[in-house]
Amino acid sequence: MNSIPEIAIKFFGENRPCLCGGAHQVCLNCAVCRANDPDELFNPEDGIASIIDATILKADATARDISALCETANKHHTASVCVNSYFIPQVKKLLNTDVKSCTVINFPLGAGSRKAVKKEAKAVIEAGVQEVDMVQNISAVKSQDWDMALETIKAVSIQCIENRLLLKVILETCFLDREEIIISCLMAKKAGAKFVKTSTGFGTAGATAENIALMREVVGPKLGVKASGGIRDKATAELMVKSGANRIGASSVTAILQD
């Protein structure tokens, strides 16, 4: 089994030591150096509501569903509301300023071409969204087309960086082995993403404590780690946070926040 530094060197070269604390140890020459950024770690004083992305992504979601979600998010001061892009104008009107709007692209299969994903990113940015969760090119990863996998993330990250938007890269860990998870985390970090995320919620499985811990180990403290998929109660959310997550994607917001 290859170590995280060995995988990093194989893909990105034996560079100078990294300054950001990632387990890859060698500098990835990232699109954005995060070494001087604040740590992306959960602060218990802020409360778990502050790191929840209140989410509705089901195909049959209605405007009424979105309104109810925004009301819940405003009440509890969640990090964001994450919806399909059709609903961006609605959530922009309904959300308080402390709750961000978030949408998904290349979702849920992660099988769009680089050009298609780039254009989709442009469209949601122009719609005024504040955070973007993109599914990486899963087919490229499974085909070991590493250049295309990286370039697809970069096509989005460049636009997010230019517009000062937060980008989370969804790995869809249920389809990946350990080494593929490590490589995917390294590519997301190198491309300039701010978060790596476990799952779409539409795959064969969701977040696990083991994968969260691995992702946190790889990226270090300067990138965020989002646990998503199958988090429906407070105990599961707390387990994900304990394992290294500092953002939670969930549709069961009220259940998670129950005492």
Catalytic residues: 133, 197, 226
Both tokens of 55, joined, read 């989410």
In angstroms, rounded to a whole number, what is the distance separating the alpha carbons of residues 61 and 256?
Answer: 21
Do 182 and 220 meet the contact criterion of CB atoms below 8 Å apart?
Answer: no
In angstroms, rounded to a whole number, what is the distance separating the alpha carbons of residues 127 and 136?
Answer: 21
Determine the residue type at 117. Answer: V
Coil/strand/helix, residue 100: strand
Both tokens of 208, joined, read 């696990």
Closest among 18, 63, 67 to 186, alpha carbons compared: 18
In angstroms, rounded to a whole number, what is the distance separating the alpha carbons of residues 45 and 42?
Answer: 9
Burial class (CB in 10 A: 0-12, 13-18, 19+), 132: buried
In angstroms, rounded to a whole number, what is the distance separating the alpha carbons of residues 188 and 219?
Answer: 9
* Residues of the chain by 3-state class (helix, strand, coil), percent to 5: 45, 15, 40
Instruction: Please count the CA atoms within 13 angstroms of the CA of 14 that sit on its side-chain side.
Output: 1
